[in-house]
Structure 1
């Protein structure tokens, strides 16, 4: 079982640059076809100052800048091979663009078990704020940990 003392732990702020090459790669990998995600002129014609990040790109940012405090693998000691992606959701407040510097902060909101302890659930909320201090997005991620059951 995951130690519930991690509930309420807030990570250190992590800064990450949003690079246009990453945005183009993510858009292509997710099957995006809208030219605003690939062509800077098309993005400007659509009213964007630069290439916008696809709506779920925040997950990549969080993965590329893992927390040291409250990290599921390092801090909580969970074996990566036992993790399942349970759920994720996003609330968007402002667009994220190529060239932005995003600061991420993650808080562990809950840890609970199901199926008699066979599964642990870790609920974490991450905020993304741009270089101007504007809240761009919030992400909730729920990791499911498969626990070894005695034989």
Structure 2
């Protein structure tokens, strides 16, 4: 079932997170980065893709898709872009505010695209990053 273009502009629930230094170390290890032992916690920058991973740590990170009527078995991760405004560090409290920025189709409706933009700021409103992800829904029943 296609997602209605009425979803464009829908704001999703914000997520507030305080960046724990242990999580940064764990994430860095998972992606093959090494942090020097004894590094001052205040000096540990957040790795570039860390913010995307935090969005997935909600109890149901795909609830918004389910609410749109998306069949999760038909979805692919299309693209991910990051626009950085400042470096987040351990101890920062960040607020992520996602919204559905666009919904469009290609190939006569066989492929549908949902673009989600997430604005990440510090708790005082200072911009940190904008995350832009595109999900692709396959509609094999659509005429090609």
- TM-score, length basis structure 1: 0.81
- After TM superposition, the structure 1 = structure 2 runs for residues 2-151 of structure 1, keeping only pairs within 5 Å, are 2-33=3-34, 35=35, 39=37, 41-42=38-39, 44=40, 49-65=42-58, 66=61, 71=64, 73-149=65-141
1:24-80 superposed Cα distances (whole Å, 9 cap, x missing partner):
2221121223x25xx4x43x4xxx824211011110122224486xx2x23212122
In 2, are the aligned partners of 1:14 and 1:67 still within 8 Å (CA)? no
The count of aligned residue pairs is 140
CA contact (8 A) 1:12 1:67 kept: no
- Give SS of 1:24's match: helix
* Separation in 2, partners of 1:112, 1:141: 14
Report if aligned partners of 2:24, 2:47 keep a CA contact under 8 Å in 1: yes
How large is the RMSD of aligned CA atoms in angstroms?
2.2
- The structure-2 alpha-carbon separation of the partners of 1:118 and 1:150, relative to structure 1 and needing over 3 Å to count, comes to closer
Whole-angstrom CA distance in 1 between matches of 2:100 and 2:57: 18
Deviation at 1:120, TM superposition (A): 0.7
**8 Å CA contact retained: 1:123, 1:143:** yes
Shift of 1:13: 2.2
Q: Secondary structure at the match of 2:52?
A: helix
Residues 90, 82 of structure 1: alpha-carbon distance in 2 compared, 3 angstrom cutoff: same
**2:42 alignment partner, SS class:** coil
How big is the shift at 1:21? 2.3
* 5+ long unaligned stretches in structure 2: none
| 3-state SS of 1:116 partner | coil
Distance 1:29 1:5 in 2: 38
- Please give the secondary structure, in 2, of the residue aligned with 1:138: strand
Tell me how far apart the structure 1 counterparts of residues 99 and 54 of structure 2 sit (CA, whole Å).
16
Q: What are structure 1's unaligned runs of at least 5 residues?
A: none
